[in-house]
Amino acid sequence: MSGTWIGRDLPPIRRGGREYFLLGHRGELYLVVNQCPHRGGPLKFGFVNDAGQIVCPLHKGAFAVDTLIAQRSTIRLLEAETAP
């Protein structure tokens, strides 16, 4: 198991006119634009392969999670600080 998952069953997450999906990776959470770098396929409905890559449902392109996380549009979610 790669420790990577896609929040495919979650409702669409929209921000600034773009749609994102929730991506869990190594215990961190990210919002990643739901557009494949190839031709904009909905990565949210892809899957994580044995190499830990996200496979796009449209043309089966496989993308390294680190590459998706490194996109400027990706948002890393931080834990809310809890009051003492």
Interface with ligand FES (CB under 6 A)? 36, 38-41, 56, 58-59, 61
DSSP 55-69: EPTTT--EEEHHHHH
The nearer residue to ligand FES, 59 or 76, going by C-beta atoms, is 59
Cα dist. 54→28, 74, 77, 79 in Å? 16, 15, 19, 24
State the nearest-atom distance from the C-beta of 37 to ligand FES, in Å.
Answer: 7
CA distance 21 to 36: 12
Least distance from C-beta 82 to ligand FES, angstroms? 39
Whole-number minimum distance, CB 35 to ligand FES, in Å? 8
